[in-house]
């Protein structure tokens, strides 16, 4: 299985959250792999540019070396447009960052690891897990 990491997972991982790190290590041992959606990478890296954190940046550098950052393409943008329009027609609003992340996960069949499940619960077709509740 391929998991996509949400920014909130990465921030907790960088804080050395033992529960999340253990689940991550277990998933790797079981042959699963991970990717980082490009917008998630942006969220993490902009923070390092604003407030340098050398230890966390080093940990993230290692994580990113083992988890490729996946780019947006035309198909992702078009799927995100559909998601936005569908949500809007239902009176729901979701941040563009979350819509783009969900679109990448749907497009490639990734399962998103997040603890902000409310951001994704109204998006049809996105699979997500909250490792903090399991």
Is residue 62 situated within a structural domain?
A: yes
Is residue 134 situated within a structural domain?
A: no
Give the pLDDT confidence of 4-15 residue by residue, as tens digits: 999 999 999 988
Is residue 34 situated within a structural domain?
A: yes
Is residue 98 situated within a structural domain?
A: yes
Report residue 61 as tokens: 């550098």
Is residue 51 situated within a structural domain?
A: yes
Domain count, the chain: 1
Containing domain of residue 42, as a range?
A: 2-129
Give the pLDDT confidence of 60-114 residue by residue, as tens digits: 888 899 899 999 999 999 999 999 999 999 999 999 999 999 999 999 999 999 9
**Would you say residue 134 has pLDDT above 80?**
no
Supply the CATH number for residue 54's domain: 3.40.50.1010
The full DSSP string for 66-116 is HSPEEPP-HHHHHHHHHHHHHHHHTT----HHHHHHHHHHHHHTPEEE-S-
- Sorted by sequence, the CB contacts under 8 Å of residue 110 that are 6+ apart come out as 2, 3, 4, 35, 104, 127
| pLDDT (0 to 100) of residue 58 | 85
Q: How confident is the model at residue 132 (pLDDT cuts 50, 70, 90)?
A: confident
Q: Mean pLDDT throughout 120-126?
A: 94
């Amino acid at each position: 299985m391929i998991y996509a990491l949400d920014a909130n997972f990465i921030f907790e991982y960088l804080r050395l959250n033992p529960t999340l790190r253990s689940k991550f290590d277990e998933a790797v041992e079981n042959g699963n792999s991970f990717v980082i959606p490009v917008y998630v990478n942006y969220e993490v890296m902009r923070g390092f540019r604003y407030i340098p954190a050398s230890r966390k940046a080093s940990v993230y550098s290692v994580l990113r070396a083992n988890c490729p950052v996946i780019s947006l393409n035309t198909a992702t943008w078009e799927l995100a447009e559909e998601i936005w329009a569908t949500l809007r027609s239902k009176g729901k609003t979701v941040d563009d960052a979350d819509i783009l992340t969900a679109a990448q996960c749907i497009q490639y069949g990734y399962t998103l690891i997040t603890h902000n499940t409310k951001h994704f619960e109204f998006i049809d077709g996105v699979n997500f897990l909250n490792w903090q509740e399991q």
